[in-house]
Amino acid sequence: GAVVSQHPSWVICKSGTSVKIECRSLDFQATTMFWYRQFPKQSLMLMATSNEGSKATYEQGVEKDKFLINHASLTLSTLTVTSAHPEDSSFYICSARAWPPDNEQFFGPGTRLTVL
Amino acid sequence: AQSVTQPDIHITVSEGASLELRCNYSYGATPYLFWYVQSPGQGLQLLLKYFSGDTLVQGIKGFEAEFKRSQSSFNLRKPSVHWSDAAEYFCAVGAQRGSSNTGKLIFGQGTTLQVKP
CA separation, residue B18 to residues A2, B13, B64, B76, B77 (Å): 30, 8, 12, 11, 8
Degrees to nearest 5, angle at CA B38 with A42 and B98: 90
| Residue B49 touches chain A, beta carbons under 8 Å | yes
- Half-sphere exposure of residue A43: CA atoms within 13 angstroms, side-chain side: 19
How many Cβ pairs within 8 Å bridge chains A and B? 61
pLDDT of residue A88: 96
pLDDT per position as a tens digit, B76-95: 999 999 999 999 999 999 87
- Half-sphere exposure of residue A95: CA atoms within 13 angstroms, side-chain side: 24
- Does the beta-carbon distance from B43 to A112 stay under 8 Å? no
User: What type of residue sits at position A69?
Assistant: I
Which residues in chain B are contacts of A103 at CB distance < 8 A?
Answer: 32, 94-97, 101, 103
Of the candidates B5, B104, B42, the one whose C-alpha atom is nearest the C-alpha of residue A48 is B104
Mean pLDDT of A52-80: 92
Lowest mean pLDDT among A43-57, A77-91, A93-107: A93-107
- Does the beta-carbon distance from B103 to A112 stay under 8 Å? no
| Residue B32 touches chain A, beta carbons under 8 Å | yes
Q: What is the mean pLDDT of chain B?
A: 91
Q: Is residue B98's pLDDT more than 70? A: no
pLDDT per position as a tens digit, B4-42: 999 999 999 999 999 999 999 998 777 889 999 999 888
